[in-house]
Amino acid sequence: MALGAALLGFFVITLDALVVNVALPSIRNSLGGGITGLQWVIDGYTLMFAALLLSAGSLTDRLGARRTFAVGLAVFVAASAVCGLAPNLGVLVAARLVQGAGAAVIVPSSLALIREAFPDAGKRAKAISMWALGGSVGSAAGPVAGGFLSQVDWRLIFFVNLPVGLIALFLLARTHRSPRSEQARFDWTGQLSAIVAMGALTFGAIKAGADGFTVVPAIVSFALVVVAAVVFVVAQARSPHSMIGLTLLRERTMVVSAAIGFALNVGFYGMIFLLSLYLQQAKGMSAPATGLAFVPMTLLTAFISPTAAWFAARFGPRMPVITGQVAMMAGLILLALVPASAPTWLLIAAMVPVGAGGSLAVPALTSLLLDQVAAGRAGTAGGVLNTSRQIGGALAVAVFGALIADHDHLVAGLETSLLIAAAALLLTTAASFLLGPPPAREPTGHAAGGTELTTEQIDELGSLPPVVGAPHTQAGRQLLER
C-alpha cells in the first residue's frame, strides 16, 4: 500500500512537469495572453518545486511521512482542480504555483514512506526502483498525454490528476502511522529568502526578455535577487538549523556538480518548451502529433538507466557525465542547424541524443557527488543538485521564451536559444574535468557504521527522470545512510 501510494504520487507530479508543454497553444487560444503568460504556466510549477525541496525533508521528519505525504498530495490534487477550472491565465498560474509546492512535499515524504515500509535493504532497493519507474513512466507519458488530451480540452490534462491522486490517498489510508521527530527544525529565513530570490530572478528574466533590462520592474527584480541572496547566505552562516550550510557550497565537487545539473536542465527543458511551440506554430502539427514526436526521446530517456549503470561501473562516473553532456550538446547543435524546410523526422532524430545524454549523465553525476561528500551531508547535497537543475529549467523557459516571443522571428529565436544551451554545456563539460576520482573508502560496513550502498543501488537512487534527480533532504539522507 505504501509503495503504491508513493509510486502514484511520484508518477503524477512527474507527469505534470511535462504534460503542459504540448498544451500551451491550446491554453493560449482559450485563456489569451502572450508568451509571458505561457512561460509562467511552466515556471510557476518548476519554481515552487525547486524552492521548497531544500526544506521539505525537515517537514517530513517533523510531521511524519504519512501525514506529510497526505497533505502534499491533497494540496496537489486541489490545485490541479483549480487549474482545470481556471477562468483566466492569472488563476491558472497561481494554481500552478500551489501545485509545485505540493509536488515538492510529495517527493521526500514518498521516499520516507518507502523507507518505513521496507526495513530490509534489498527489498527497499527494489521498491525504490519501482518508485523511480513511476517517475519514468510519467516523464514518457507527459508529452503524449498532453497532446491527445488538449485536442479534446486542455483542462483534462489537470483533471486527470484527480482520480490518480484519490487512488493514492485511498492506498495511503491503509498504511501504518509514521513516527514524528520533534527535533527537526524548519529554516524559515532561509526558505523564504530562497523563494524570493528564485521568484525575483525568474520574473526579472521574463520581464527583461519582454521589455528590456532597463525597465523599472526588471531592475527592481534583479535588485531584490541580490538582497534575498545576501539574506539567504547570512541565514545559512548563522542559523543552527540552516538548510544547506556554507561549508558544502565551498566544496569544488558540489559547485561543479550544481553547474552541470543546471546546464543539463537548461538543455532538456529548454528544448521541450521550444519544440512544443515550434512544431505546432511553425510546422503546423496537431497537438497529438507533437506529443508523439517526443516519444522516441522520452522512451529512451526512461529506460537508458541500465546502460548508465554499466557505463559508470566500467569507466567510472566522470566519463558518463562528460559523455552525456557531449551527447546533449551535439543534439542541441543539430536541432539548431536543421533547416526549417527539413522533414520532421530529422528533428525527432536530433532530439534523441538530448534526452539520452541527460539520462546518461544524471545518475552518474548523482553517484559521483554522493561519493565525494560526507555521508551526513549526502541528502543535502542531493537537494542542492536537484534545486540547481530545477532553476536551470525555469530560467531556460524564461530566457528562451523571450527570444521566440516575436512570431516572425520564431525560427531565429529557436536557433539562438538552442545554441545558448549548447554553449552552457560546453562550459560545464570543460569544468567536468575538475571532478576528481572518488575518495578512498573503508571496507563496506565500517565507514558509516552500517551497510554501504552498492554502485547499482546508488545508481537506482539517482536514475530518476530529469524532473527530480536524486533523493534529497533529511528523508533521503536517512535512506542513503541506511
198-240: per-residue pLDDT in tens?
Answer: 888 888 877 777 677 778 888 898 899 899 889 888 887 777 7
344: pLDDT confidence band, cut at 50, 70 and 90?
Answer: confident
How does the average pLDDT of the chain come out, rounded?
78
pLDDT at 441: 44
Tell me how many degrees the CA angle 433-438-443 measures, rounded to the nearest 5: 170
Torsions phi, psi for 106 (to 5 deg): -65, -40
- Specify the amino acid at residue 333: I
Give the residue, 129 or 402, on which the prediction is more confident.
402
pLDDT at residue 243 is higher than 80: no
What gap in Å lies between CA 166 and CA 4, rounded to an integer? 12
Q: How do residues 278-294 score in pLDDT, each as one tens digit?
A: 888 888 888 888 888 88
Q: How do residues 159-182 score in pLDDT, each as one tens digit?
A: 988 998 899 889 888 877 766 545
Mean pLDDT of 303-324: 76
pLDDT at residue 156 is higher than 50: yes
| Residue 131 near residue 66 (C-beta atoms within 8 A) | no
What gap in Å lies between CA 287 and CA 276, rounded to an integer? 9
pLDDT at 466: 44
465: pLDDT confidence band, cut at 50, 70 and 90?
Answer: very low
- Burial, 239: exposed, middle or buried (Cβ in 10 Å; 0-12, 13-18, 19+)? middle
Q: Which residues contact 397 (CB under 8 A, 6 or more apart)?
A: 39, 42, 43, 46, 269, 270, 273
Q: What angle do the packed helices 473-481 and 35-63 form, to 10 degrees? A: 50
106: pLDDT confidence band, cut at 50, 70 and 90?
Answer: confident
pLDDT at residue 115 is higher than 90: no
- Output the CA torsion sign for 464, 387, 147, 72: positive
Instruction: For domain 2-177+243-481, give its CATH number from 3.30.460.10, 1.10.4100.10, 1.20.1250.20, 1.20.1740.10.
Output: 1.20.1250.20
First to last CA, the chain: 22
> Which has the closest alpha carbon to 195: 391, 61, 59, 392?
391
Task: Lowest mean pLDDT of 23-32, 66-75, 129-138, name the range.
Answer: 129-138
> Which has the closest alpha carbon to 218: 227, 208, 226?
208
pLDDT at 404: 79
Q: How many residues are given for the chain?
A: 482
Q: What is the grid cell recorded at 474?
A: 533529511
Mean pLDDT of 101-123: 78
**Where are the chain's structural domains?**
2-177+243-481, 188-242
pLDDT at 429: 93
Q: What is the pTM of this model?
A: 0.75
| Residue 391 near residue 50 (C-beta atoms within 8 A) | yes
Q: How do residues 395-443 score in pLDDT, each as one tens digit?
A: 888 888 878 776 677 788 888 999 999 999 999 999 988 876 555 444 4
What gap in Å lies between CA 369 and CA 381, rounded to an integer? 8
